[in-house]
């Protein structure tokens, strides 16, 4: 039987590979994170596409009403925060909220489910982490995408010259151009970092707590695991909501003048 340390390390180890076929290293691709992200993205697109095609104006089903509730919630947030006209922000925000929520939802899978499947398939030593948002590479990738959108929307709204001028003139005026530029770069870089680390930290901590609970005796697992799972539903929803709202806020700031 594996020790507690080996058990924790096994569950926190990614299934990754480099171009040379070796495991680990800076340029390693986490196959589990990539695969789960892709599957969950297709699930989101398939479910929302199916509901859209079968939508009824009269006597809509409960699931359609649930999807409409999510769409209305996202749309209201966009209208309250983003005051410019854009056909892109609302679909982007909906995609971010639902995709990140599905990422986080994987944290509610039984902690030993993947290991059990690996045992049944004759590969007990295989590693597979099912929560993409517990991988800092995934959260940073999404946040860097938001960073490119911030820059793109800034240039679209102000022009390349206007955006560069703002980098050197705000917030202290054009006479302090170098200082303004330093502060602008710090602000620009801190946005994706804060987005990524906030989501990663919460989901990694949640995953680790589930692993620690799984090490307890069977009765204690149910006594602690059940309440923590219920509380974690709030966390995974809140983290998806926060990621979406901050993205909208950052894009709104990008198109506004100081």
Global pTM value: 0.90
pLDDT of residue 18: 74
The verdict on whether 118 is a catalytic residue reads: no
- Selecting among 30, 115, 202, 252, the annotated active-site residue is 202
The verdict on whether 16 is a catalytic residue reads: no
- Selecting among 137, 145, 169, 198, the annotated active-site residue is 198
pLDDT of residue 20: 60
Mean pLDDT, 10 residues at a time, the chain of 258 residues: 80 80 70 95 95 88 93 95 89 96 94 85 83 95 95 92 89 86 92 94 94 88 88 94 96 83
pLDDT of residue 258: 58
pLDDT of residue 28: 80
HEC assignment per residue over the chain: CCCHHHHHHHHCCCCEECCCCCCCCCCCEEHHHHHHHHHHHHHHHHHHHHHHHCCCCCCCCHHHHHHHHHHHHHHHHHHHHCCCCCCCHHHHHHHHHHHHHHHHHHHHCCCCHHHHHHHHCCCCCCCCCCCHHHCHHHHHHHHHHHHHHHHHHHHHHHHHHHHHHHHHHCCCCHHHHHHHHHHHHHHHHHHHHHHHHHHHHHHHHHHHHHHHHHCCCHHHHHHHHHHHHHHHHHHHHHHHHHHHHHHHHHHHHHCCCC
- Selecting among 4, 76, 190, 194, the annotated active-site residue is 194
């Amino acid at each position: 039987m594996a020790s507690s340390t080996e058990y924790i390390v096994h569950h926190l180890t990614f299934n990754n590979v480099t171009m040379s076929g070796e495991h680990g290293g800076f340029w390693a691709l986490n196959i589990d994170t990539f695969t789960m992200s892709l599957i969950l993205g297709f699930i989101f697109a398939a479910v929302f596409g199916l509901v859209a095609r079968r939508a009824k104006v009269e006597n809509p089903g409960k699931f359609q009403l649930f999807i409409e509730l999510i769409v209305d919630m996202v749309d209201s947030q966009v209208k309250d925060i983003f005051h410019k006209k854009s056909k892109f922000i609302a679909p982007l925000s909906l995609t971010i909220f639902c995709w990140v929520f599905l990422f986080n939802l994987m944290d509610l899978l039984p902690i030993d489910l993947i290991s059990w499947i690996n045992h049944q398939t004759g590969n007990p030593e295989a590693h597979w982490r099912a929560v993409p948002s517990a991988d800092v590479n995934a959260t940073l990738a999404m946040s860097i995408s938001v960073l490119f959108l911030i820059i793109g929307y800034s240039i679209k709204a102000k022009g390349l010259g206007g955006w560069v001028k703002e980098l050197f003139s705000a917030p202290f005026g054009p006479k302090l151009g170098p200082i303004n530029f330093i502060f602008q770069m710090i602000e620009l870089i801190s946005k994706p970092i804060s987005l990524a680390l906030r989501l990663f930290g919460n989901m990694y901590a949640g995953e680790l707590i589930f692993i620690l609970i799984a090490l307890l005796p069977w009765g204690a697992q149910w006594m602690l695991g059940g309440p923590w799972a219920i509380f974690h539903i709030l966390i995974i929803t809140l983290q998806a909501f926060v990621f979406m709202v901050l993205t909208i806020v950052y894009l709104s700031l990008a198109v506004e003048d100081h």
